[in-house]
């Protein structure tokens, strides 16, 4: 009895090893056994179709040429039609002040002004911005060594910790002030609610926007 109990696991292991499919054997069986077809998402797809799609994917992506002003400087660029304004700014123009947090419109870290209006640059197609005037955190200060009043207010109010959200907070705050949405702390909170801060600096951010808007 004892011998049988001890023998069973090794027998089972032998069976398991012999028949357990591996990733390699499954792929081999699928490609060889069904005449070069493969299974994608539960459906069988002919190999030539996949090959054609891969060829398209490997080709030059559709692109467009546009001219726009960023922080007062005119740029003429060729962009992938699928590229976001955020990627244009960061990858092509080297303006990395605008941050990529969620890349999905949920955090506000990428906020910039387009023709004076605040937008999530991660959700804005670059190719649609022909003739636009874009302002990023890099172009906010007047250029004479002084900071923009809201940048100074963030320092005065100690309104950041890690700083990752800060460029987006400041650009959104500038938009908030320009839109006249600073009548009360509650109004600022409401109209800045699209900008998240993982460090939880909200109270001081609201104070900073109030300081820049009303000098207090």
Q: Which stretch binds ligand FES (CB under 6 A): 17-25, 65-73, 176-184, 194-202?
A: 194-202
Q: Does 129 bind ligand FES (CB under 6 A)?
A: no
Contact pick of 39, 106, 141, 203 for ligand FES (by CB under 6 A): 106
Give strand pairing partners of 121. none
Contact pick of 68, 93, 108, 135 for ligand FES (by CB under 6 A): 108
- Contact present, 206 and 188 (Cβ < 8 Å): yes
Spatial CA neighbour of 159 closest among 190, 199, 124, 121: 199
**Nearer to ligand FES among residue 65 and residue 117 (C-beta):** 117
**Nearer to ligand FES among residue 50 and residue 80 (C-beta):** 80
Q: Residue 68: enclosing H or E segment and its boundaries?
A: strand 63-70
The span from the CA of 97 to the CA of 168, in Å, is 9
Contact pick of 119, 132, 150, 201 for ligand FES (by CB under 6 A): 201
Contact pick of 31, 92, 96, 103 for ligand FES (by CB under 6 A): 103
CB of 170 to ligand FES, least distance (A): 11
| DSSP SS3 for 14 | helix
DSSP class per residue in 138-189? GG-S-SSSPPPHHHHHHHHTT--SS-SSHHHHHHHHHHHHHTT--SSHHHHH
Structural tokens at position 209: 């926007």
How does DSSP classify residue 22? P
Contact pick of 68, 93, 140, 197 for ligand FES (by CB under 6 A): 197
Contact pick of 88, 110, 119, 137 for ligand FES (by CB under 6 A): 110
Q: Does 155 bind ligand FES (CB under 6 A)?
A: no
Contact pick of 28, 39, 185, 199 for ligand FES (by CB under 6 A): 199
Q: Does 214 bind ligand FES (CB under 6 A)?
A: no
Q: Does 122 bind ligand FES (CB under 6 A)?
A: yes
The span from the CA of 39 to the CA of 200, in Å, is 47
Under the rule (CB under 6 A), what is the footprint of ligand FES? 100-103, 105-110, 120, 122, 160-166, 197-199, 201
């Amino acid at each position: 009895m004892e011998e049988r109990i001890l023998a069973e696991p090794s027998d089972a292991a032998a069976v398991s090893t012999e028949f357990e499919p591996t990733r390699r054997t499954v792929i081999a069986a699928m490609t060889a056994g069904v005449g070069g077809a493969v299974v994608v998402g539960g459906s069988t797809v002919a190999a030539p179709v996949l090959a054609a799609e891969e060829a398209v994917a490997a080709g030059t992506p559709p692109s467009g040429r546009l001219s726009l002003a960023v922080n007062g400087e005119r740029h003429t660029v060729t962009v992938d039609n699928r590229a976001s304004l955020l990627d244009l700014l960061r990858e092509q123009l080297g303006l990395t002040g605008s941050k990529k947090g969620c890349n999905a419109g949920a955090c506000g870290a990428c906020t910039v002004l387009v023709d004076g209006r605040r937008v999530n640059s991660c959700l804005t197609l670059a190719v649609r911005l022909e003739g636009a005037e874009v302002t990023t955190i890099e172009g906010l200060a007047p250029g004479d060594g002084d900071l923009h009043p809201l940048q100074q207010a963030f320092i005065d109010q100690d309104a950041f910790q890690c700083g990752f959200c800060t460029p987006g907070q400041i650009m959104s705050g500038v938009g908030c002030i320009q839109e006249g949405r600073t009548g009360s702390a509650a109004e600022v909170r409401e109209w800045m609610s699209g900008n998240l801060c993982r460090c939880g600096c909200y109270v001081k951010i609201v104070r900073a926007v109030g300081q820049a808007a009303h000098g207090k």
